[in-house]
Amino acid sequence: MSTTATSKQSTGKRRRGNADANKNGSQVVSNDSEPKDQNGSSPATDAKALALSEALKHVQSEHEDILKALKGRFGFIRALLTEFWPEFQRDPRDETQLPVDGDSQWFWFMETQFMVIFLYEVALMEFSMSVTKPDSITLEHTMEKTTLSHRQDMEERVTFLARLKKYIQKMAKCRLAATKQAGKSLPRVFRLAEMYKLSEGETLLLQLLVVMQGCQSDTVRCQILDEDSQRRAMTCQRLTGLSEVDVAEFRDDEREHVKEGTLIVDEETYCTSLNLSNICVRVLLGRHLTSNQALKVSQTALEELLKGEGMSFGEMLEPKASSTTNSDSKLSSHKRARKNDEAAEEDGDEKMDDHDATSDSDLENHDEDDPSSSAFSFIGKYKSNDNKSKRAKLQAKADEKLLLSSADAGSDKHHLLSSLMDSSELKPYSPENQLEYLEDRFQVVAFAIRASGARVKDQMKEAGTKQPWDTSAPASTGRRELKAKQRVYNRRTQHRLALTRQAGHPLPRLEELAAKFKLNRFEQNVIIMLIGKTVSPVIKNLIDGVDTSPVQRMDESVIINQILSVFCDTFQEQVAHRVFFYKSSRLLTRGLVKLHRGRWHSTAGDLVDQRVELDRRVLDWVVGLDTEMNELVEGSDLYTPKVQLDQVVLPEEHKNTILETVESYESFRRYRKKCGLEQAGMAYGAGLVLLLCGASGTGKTMTVNAVAHHLKKRVLLVDFPSLQGKRQEGVETDADLRGLFREADMSNAVLFFDECENIFRQRDSGGDRLLNALLTEIERYEGIVFLATNRPFDLDEAMHRRITAVFEFKAPDHIQRRKIWDVLMLRGALQTEPGIDWDAIALKYELSGGFIKNAILSALLKAISRNSEAPVISHADVVAGCALQMRGSLHMKTFDHRVVPTSGLDELIVENSVQEKLRCIVQFEKARSVIYGQWGFDFGQSNKQQKGVSVMICGPSGVGKLNAAKSIGFEIGRPLKVVNFGQLAADSAAETRKALRAVFDDARLMDAVLVLTGFESFGSHIEGGVIPLENLESSPRFRMEVMRLLELMDTFPSTTILLADVDKAASSSLVQSEFCRRLKFVVEMRNPNAKLREKLWRSCFPPKAPLDTKKPVDFVRLSERYDLSTTSISDAVFRAAANAALREESKRVITMKDLMEAAEIERQKARGGAAAMDNLFV
């Protein structure tokens, strides 16, 4: 209701109240607005003063005569009025005996007055009946009959009672005047009558109703009170002198005392009965009010009456919103009208209280960015109002200060707060018992539900659709009491929350949830109502008792219409609050509640018909059931990390960048809101999404755990394929996604998507609905999200746009590996032998942090197997554990053309010069990360050109070039991707280049050593044939292809090895070529000499091989006699072993003869191949 309308309505009420007062008689209290003469006094005032003076003289003159008559001639009347005899003895000539000391004393006097009037009325009726009867009756043959009471005696009795009635009525006026003259307040009944604008007769009727309901004397109780409602109504008219028309006006539904429930009109019986509310009788009799009784006077004239006497209600009964219902709004208008009349209408256009001040049904602080959004500004939209937001915050602080200081209120003032709240219950909430807080909130919601039911009944009555079994009495009185209790318990909750904050205890979980998700009071009440429906029998019964259809009652669910009806008093508020159930609302976007179509509607129906369901995780968490997320949502694991930040071994610059990014995020969020970046196109994507990419075991997961521990957060690990499995089962998964992000907020956790390439891989045409939903949730989420992958190139393009920063995790160098060894060995806590060279182990074994941990565990298991009580790790244990992890890490990676090396340079049998060159390659690869990374060398080149290690190994066929490449791969801890150049040849040069580039990309993704064999055939796709290696620069096109190959090798982030099968002459020419000078390493290998061949022969036999012991094998003779290559020697050994394996068991040994025959065959093969090649060029 607008201020203008309220003012007009108040003015109309004041006019109608004055008209009623003039029609029914003069007011008890004089009106200061009457016209005055030149001396400043009005004629009416002078007349009243003269009448009071005459009344005083009358009672003074009549006092002794009245007492004398009561003691003498009319002693029987005195006997009936024995209880009131002290009132008759009160001497009007003594001014100290006239003032009224209290409300109870006044109504005792009024009982005396009504008893005298009653006796007069009864005597008058008997006298009137005797007037029509003869004094005696004479009949024939009978005795004369006479009456028992003489008419003259009855006349004297009526005359005396009339005289006594007049005396007691004038005494009442004199006592009121003396009370006012003594500076005391008039009895409450007169002040209340003035507020209600009652006439003198109506005031007398009000007092009579108080006497009848609060009777203090046996005389009145036996004589006046009557059970029959008709006789009771007639008694009221006789004792007050009011007509039936006057009584009808007094009980009119439009009168304020009827609307407030002070006067209860019962029209259901054969006649209309009038009763005052019990609380009104108690107040007017001056009796003490309990806390619950005090609530019943909320928002009534009785409350103003008590406040006028100095009673404090602790601000708990003051509503913050002026219009909870239409009747409440009118009531506020009446109250303001009364205040304006008392203030001589100084400001007739007084404004109403603000509509948007916080109340249980108001829209409050819809967002931090939009703190005082009001749905009344425009239905369905939010509106910003900074002034109201500041005022609400100041009011909240003032309320909290008032509640905390209420115990220190002055003892001279009756403070209702102390009586409403037991001091033993006003204590901080216990963090171990969440139900203690919920019970207080359940009380508030219960009163709201009951008040809603009372409001609905009133509305049905006004609409003429009242149920037959409902009473005709208005429910506004009970509703006001329920609303008052609702505010009291709400303030009680706020008071205990203030004590909880003051004590430094954690707030209840619902308060934490509200602060985290910025939920206002209405949204909190929705959650409380849904929780109560599940766990509170009282709330459940109250909701089920609301007038709904039987079908709805069978549904055991809560619909939006019920929620709006409970927490919104007007239709306007109900429409405005629909926005809290839109898809974009916080309750739905955060996954706190879910909406379902009504089960009894064939279509979707209106929004208010939707069923509201509270998320199970929210329910369990708020009530204190610490059910972990992984038990409620598939594909999630919530845990508290224990990893310290100093345990993570990363380059310092890398680590500092990650820390600065995550630590400054909170400041970024505040700055984003402060500067209004949402309006500048940054409404979405406010979260921090960090992509950690790198090979397995490089520390991505450990970094996430350490950062979360540093930020004092938990980690929510998401296994997305499990969620995809739920979708395939036909279960809605979007809600689970919202639950994941909500759980991260509720648990103060960072989200961690490990192996996210399985989640965000490139979508096929048409897209993936689940992936789209996840991308949307990530974009909306305002928190920290970590993504970890070892295949960043497989991520969808839409995901790259949502990534804030990318951090690449490389395999650790030997310096970092030394630190990892130290950290994982618990900085010396594990017992080890003193002779272990940790620096050499860190340099030799190219293991990432994850594999180093496994190597330590393997070594510890070996040590425990020797001594379970006091294990000591030896050097051999560490070496064995590292060897296992090297082989394990190499076998992990599966891809096309994979070759897993099984031995290193120590087992490779080559010339010393060749082995030194190969060792230089390994050392360069191990030191490269330190040189280019930690030390920052660039040598005048871009970083892109500093990554690759290009190697050429050339020599005759079968000299062990591939074995040398395998040894390099084993030493640097990477598998080999072996591809022959002939496999890449295509019909066109463009297709060949494309295939070659694809091979480099695959090797890069697999973090493998790329080995390209058959380099002697490189360029076969150019000019229709193979160009000899000694003429590499002869063809410009071939030279261009070579340059492209060199560029790919230089930009490859690992080692590229080219293998070329060339003879000795061509090998020398190749080494001196411009192409080889562009390579970082060139290794020329030759056929092994006799000493190397002897080692090769011996190395080919494992320990279990059955060699002939009678005639031992002469390896020296074999090596000197047969000039074989490495491959030929291994083939000869295999041929000889195959022949021996097919003999009888007694002769199943490898003899010297077998080896010589096999060697001869291999030599003939080699010669035959050379002769065939010679014939080709003849």
Q: Which CATH number fits domain 899-1086: 3.30.2350.10, 3.40.1710.10, 3.40.190.10, 3.40.50.300?
A: 3.40.50.300
pLDDT at 208 over 80: yes
Highest mean pLDDT pick, 197-206, 511-520, 731-740, 948-957: 197-206
- Among the ranges given (114-123, 480-489, 866-875, 939-948), the one the predictor scored with the smallest mean pLDDT: 939-948
Q: Which helix (H) or strand (E) holds 693?
A: strand 688-694
Per-residue pLDDT of 423-473, as tens digits, reads 666 788 888 888 888 988 888 888 888 888 878 777 776 666 655 555 555
Highest mean pLDDT pick, 390-404, 984-998, 1012-1026, 1159-1173: 984-998
Per-residue pLDDT of 544-555, as tens digits, reads 776 544 444 555
What is the structure's pLDDT at 137? Answer: 55
Per-residue pLDDT of 94-113, as tens digits, reads 888 899 999 999 999 999 99
Name the residue among 374, 499, 506, 347 with its Cα closest to residue 434. Answer: 506
DSSP 328-348: HHHHHHHHHHHHHHHTTSS-T
Put simply, whether the predicted model's pTM sits higher than 0.75 gets the answer no
Using pLDDT thresholds of 50, 70 and 90, give the confidence band for residue 144: low
**Higher pLDDT residue, 145 or 968?**
968
Cα–Cα distance, 617 to 614 (Å, whole number)? 9
Report the alpha-carbon angle 551-552-558, nearest 5: 165
- DSSP type of residue 1109: S
What is the structure's pLDDT at 359? Answer: 41
**Higher pLDDT residue, 1011 or 393?**
1011
How many CA atoms within 13 Å lie on the side-chain side of 571? 2
Using pLDDT thresholds of 50, 70 and 90, give the confidence band for residue 365: very low
What is the structure's pLDDT at 764? Answer: 52
What is the structure's pLDDT at 756? Answer: 76
Using pLDDT thresholds of 50, 70 and 90, give the confidence band for residue 114: very high
- Among the ranges given (14-23, 566-575, 749-758, 916-925), the one the predictor scored with the smallest mean pLDDT: 14-23
- DSSP type of residue 1150: B
Query: For the residues 938-954, what does the mean pLDDT come to?
Result: 69
Highest mean pLDDT pick, 85-99, 817-831, 1018-1032: 85-99
Work out the mean pLDDT of the chain and round it to a whole number: 76
Query: For the residues 336-353, what does the mean pLDDT come to?
Result: 40
C-alpha distance from residue 931 to each of 67, 820, 848, 919, 936 (Å): 125, 19, 19, 18, 6
Q: Which residues pair with 1061 in a beta bridge?
A: 955
pLDDT above 70 coverage of the chain, percent = 71
C-alpha distance from residue 1137 to each of 451, 1100, 1166 (Å): 99, 11, 20
Domain with CATH 1.10.8.60 in the chain: 814-891, 1091-1176
Q: Which ranges of 474-548 would DSSP assign to H, the alpha helix?
A: 476-503, 509-517, 521-535, 537-545
Q: Which residues pair with 953 in a beta bridge?
A: 1059, 1083
pLDDT at 381 over 50: no
pLDDT above 90 coverage of the chain, percent = 11
E-assigned strand segments in 959-1074? 976-980, 1009-1013, 1055-1061
pLDDT at 229 over 60: yes
Q: Which helix (H) or strand (E) holds 75?
A: helix 75-80
Could you give phi then psi for residue 825, rounded to 5 degrees? -80, 15
CATH of domain 629-809: 3.40.50.300
211 touches 134 (CB < 8 A): no
Q: Which two tokens stand for residue 602?
A: 């064939």
Query: For the residues 39-44, what does the mean pLDDT come to?
Result: 60
pLDDT at 318 over 50: no
Q: Which class would CATH give 814-891?
A: mainly alpha
Domain with CATH 3.40.50.300 in the chain: 629-809, 899-1086
All residues at 6 or more sequence positions from 403 whose CB lies less than 8 Å from its CB, including other chains: 417, 491, 494, 495, 498
406 touches 415 (CB < 8 A): yes
- DSSP type of residue 932: I
Per-residue pLDDT of 1056-1108, as tens digits, reads 999 988 887 777 777 777 778 888 888 888 889 888 888 889 888 988 888 88
Cα–Cα distance, 803 to 329 (Å, whole number)? 54
Using pLDDT thresholds of 50, 70 and 90, give the confidence band for residue 202: very high
Per-residue pLDDT of 615-650, as tens digits, reads 887 888 888 876 554 454 545 678 889 888 888 888
Q: Which CATH number fits domain 1091-1176: 1.10.3720.10, 3.40.50.720, 1.10.490.10, 1.10.8.60?
A: 1.10.8.60
